[in-house]
Amino acid sequence: MKKKIEAVKRAYKNNQQLKVGTVLLIFLLLCALLASVLAPYSPYVLTEDIRVGPGVNGHLLGTDALGHDILSQLLFGARTSLRIGIVAALIAGTIGTLIGGIAGFFGGKVDKFIVEFINVFVMTPSFFLILIVVAMFGSSMKYVMIVIGLTSWPGNARLMRAQAISLRNRTFVKSCQAMGESRLSIMFRHIIPNGIFPIIANTTMRVSGAILMESGLSFLGLGDPNVISWGQMISNGKAYLTNAPWISIVPGLAVVLTVLTFFLIGDGLNRVIAPKMNANK
């Protein structure tokens, strides 16, 4: 255990991306968790200051057309964005790992079938799939999360499949087989834990994809109308872009920052893992 901590420390020391990413992530998580404490106003309350610029009357980031305090909305919106991003990426990661692991480890006809299945999913324009689902089942946050998760697993599945194929031929897997472990047990105890690192990195990067996707949906007015989200805020501000640009720009920057955070962490993880993998071979 000590060694692992040491390794993580060393990884951080040599990896600027990971360092910056983690600091940003902690900042974002604090914002989301402490939103109710930090926010100067309730995000739903309509103040008397309408469309005032940043800094006016104690509104640090100004207000929107209805008088909502933008800073407060931003803090509460972080909750939505992070939740959607993380849950959707986790769903995609889990499905991808399982499907890819099964395809790569079992091989043969199962593999052929799954690969074709993955290809079908890759070719489907997922955004339109989501539009259809939202149109059919309504646009609650739950559905949006699940649908984004269900449509973005193929990348993970491909990664895991490649990992499983290379692990399948390692001696220790054969040795477990010779010891009498069942195939499922080998897959869950040896193949997936040994091959999961690239998927973790990829899933982290996927969080930003999911956040963007949600923002896109909200911008089009297809997000959950009952919760505050950054996409929705941008959408609300688009009519006032010329005379009150901060309404859209501020949440836009927040999206950019969040996407960047997860991307930095994911890419940093990738770089930490890659040399180790090479050294093992």
Partner 1 sequence: MAERITTNDQYVLEVNNLSKWYVQKKVVKKDGKVSKKQDIKAVDGVSFTLKKGEILGVIGESGCGKSTLGRVLIYLEDPTGGQIKLFGESATAMVKRDPLKFRRTCQMIFQNPFDTFDPRYTLRKILMNPLKLHNIGADEDERLKIVLGVLERSGLRPAEEYIDRHPHELSGGQLQRISILRSMLLEPAFMVADEPVSMLDVSIRADIINMLQELVQEHHTSMVFISHDIATTRYISDKVAVMYLGRVVEMGDTDEVLHNPQHPYTKVLISNCASLNPLEKKEVIKVSGEPPTPIDNGPGCYFAPRCYRACDKCFKEYPGPVDLGNGHWASCYFANEKDEIADKTIAKDIADAK
Question: Which residues are near partner 1 by CB under 8 A?
Answer: 170-172, 174-182, 189-190, 193-194, 280
Please, which residue, 36 or 175, has the CB nearer to partner 1? Answer: 175
Using alpha carbons, list the distances in angstroms from residue 208 to 202, 215, 222.
Answer: 11, 11, 19
Using alpha carbons, list the distances in angstroms from residue 162 to 83, 150, 157, 275.
Answer: 29, 21, 9, 18
CB of 173 to partner 1, least distance (A): 8
CB of 104 to partner 1, least distance (A): 17
Please, which residue, 10 or 189, has the CB nearer to partner 1? Answer: 189
CB of 71 to partner 1, least distance (A): 46
CB of 172 to partner 1, least distance (A): 5
Q: Answer whether 212's CB lies under 8 Å from 152's CB.
A: no
CB of 171 to partner 1, least distance (A): 4
The token pair at 65 is 């057309």
Please, which residue, 22 or 177, has the CB nearer to partner 1? Answer: 177
**What is the rounded distance in angstroms from the CA atom of residue 262 to the CA atom of residue 169?**
33
Please, which residue, 142 or 174, has the CB nearer to partner 1? Answer: 174
CB of 7 to partner 1, least distance (A): 13
Please, which residue, 112 or 142, has the CB nearer to partner 1? Answer: 112
CB of 178 to partner 1, least distance (A): 5
SS3 45: coil
Please, which residue, 142 or 170, has the CB nearer to partner 1? Answer: 170
Please, which residue, 123 or 178, has the CB nearer to partner 1? Answer: 178
CB of 190 to partner 1, least distance (A): 5
Please, which residue, 186 or 259, has the CB nearer to partner 1? Answer: 186
The token pair at 227 is 């919760």
